[in-house]
């Protein structure tokens, strides 16, 4: 399954482009722009599984660094600061990774 099976290619392009500058990534705005906020929990989990490159059932810090590339190959890598902020926002139990729930 490709990201464009779940999200609009145009929305992905706009969202990734909006955060192309270093240190500009805002996960709340990005997820809204890409259309995830309007998706069902099932579709959000499908997106999660696409981003879970090692199929561990979790998205670890190393995978988060490449989250924009998970939406489109043209995406940039997140900085360490951006990656840590995204991890902190999604890691609800403090285990250093983000689960599908």
Binding residues for Ca(2+), as ranges, are 52, 54, 56, 58, 63, 91, 93, 95, 97
Binding-site residues: 52, 54, 56, 58, 63, 91, 93, 95, 97
CA–CA distance, 51 with 76 (Å, rounded to integer): 15
* H/E stretch holding 61: helix 61-64
To the nearest 10 degrees (0 to 180), the angle between helices 27-34 and 9-18 is 160
């Amino acid at each position: 399954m490709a990201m464009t099976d779940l999200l609009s290619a145009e929305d992905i392009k706009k969202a990734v482009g909006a955060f192309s500058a270093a240190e500009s990534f805002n996960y709340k705005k990005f997820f809204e722009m890409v259309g995830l906020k309007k998706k069902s929990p099932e579709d959000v989990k499908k997106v999660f599984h696409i981003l879970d490159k090692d199929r561990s059932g979790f998205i670890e810090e190393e995978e988060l660094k490449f989250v924009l590339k998970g939406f489109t190959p043209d995406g940039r890598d997140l900085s360490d600061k951006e990656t840590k902020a995204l991890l902190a926002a999604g890691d609800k139990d403090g285990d250093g990774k983000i689960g599908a729930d």
